[in-house]
Amino acid sequence: MFVSPGDFAHRISRDAAQRVASNWWRFLLNGLVLIVAGVLIFSIDWSLRSLATFLGALFILEGLTIALTAGIDERVRRANVVTGLLSVALGVAIIVWPAPGIVAVAIFLGSWLIVMGTVTISGAFAARRILPDWWLLLLLGLVEVPLGVLALADPGATLAAIITVGGIWAVAVGVMRVVLSFEIKRLPKTVDEAYEGPVRNGVAGAVKPRPDLAPSAS
């Protein structure tokens, strides 16, 4: 995530915006991979073992993406690393779990979706003063949490139910991340426009621009 709920998101500097914007290609690539993975989940006749391995690989990919995501400050960066490593550990656990039962896979998948969805929703509200389309992050969380609840709701979950949850999650989150990646890419320009707004409105002498929004010297 880029920000945490405790951040003063409106005080983002242009340097911080550039750090966040540097993530855009990771989100684009991650989104495209998730879309393809979602299509594959719906298209292949999975066994429980092969599906568990595939989902584990997706969690590892998610973890690496999160761990490499630059945040608005060092605190968020450390939180991303910890979250990413947890996702990688979960992916490895799913893959190496001896003869995973359907209930175990459902618990792994559902628990992680609820955790990540909750974190994403919190981050969305923290980012509302940074990203004009912050609601995309909110939608991500609102997709993940109900899917996680659905995966945990039935202790006797079937393989078809896990495929449905995993496939919907991968496609929906993938599409939203592709869209979000281009919003992140233009974040420095958004900060520049916020800084230049008073000048364009002819009140430069009356409004002193905040130094934290001023473009950094090149």
Chain segment 130-182, per-residue pLDDT in tens? 777 788 889 889 999 999 998 888 655 678 888 989 999 999 999 998 998 99
Structural domain contains residue 23: yes
Q: Region 71-96: what's the mean pLDDT?
A: 85
Q: Region 13-36: what's the mean pLDDT?
A: 87
Q: What is the pLDDT of residue 28?
A: 93
Give a three-class secondary structure readout of the chain. Answer: CCCCCCCCHHHCCHHHHHHHHCCHHHHHHHHHHHHHHHHHHHHCCCCHHHHHHHHHHHHHHHHHHHHCCCCCCHHHHHHHHHHHHHHHHHHHHHHHCCCCCHHHHHHHHHHHHHHHHHHHHHHHHHCCCCCCCCHHHHHHHHHHHHHHHHHHHCCCCCHHHHHHHHHHHHHHHHHHHHHHHHHHHCHHHHHHHHHHHHHHCCCCCCCCCCHHHCCCCC
Domain residues for the domain of 179 are 13-187
Is the pLDDT assigned to residue 213 strictly greater than 50? no
List, in order, residues 6 or more apart from 184 with CB less than 8 Å away. 2, 20, 21, 23, 24, 27, 131
pTM score of the predicted model: 0.77
For the CA atoms of 164, 135, 63, 185, the dihedral, rounded to the nearest 10 degrees, stands at 130
Structural domain contains residue 3: no
Q: Region 95-119: what's the mean pLDDT?
A: 83
Q: What is the pLDDT of residue 11?
A: 52
Q: For a pLDDT cut of 90, what percent of the chain falls above it?
A: 26
Structural domain contains residue 167: yes
Number of folded domains in the chain?
1
Structural domain contains residue 193: no
Is the pLDDT assigned to residue 200 strictly greater than 80? no
Structural domain contains residue 199: no
Q: What mean pLDDT is reported for the chain?
A: 80
Q: For a pLDDT cut of 70, what percent of the chain falls above it?
A: 78
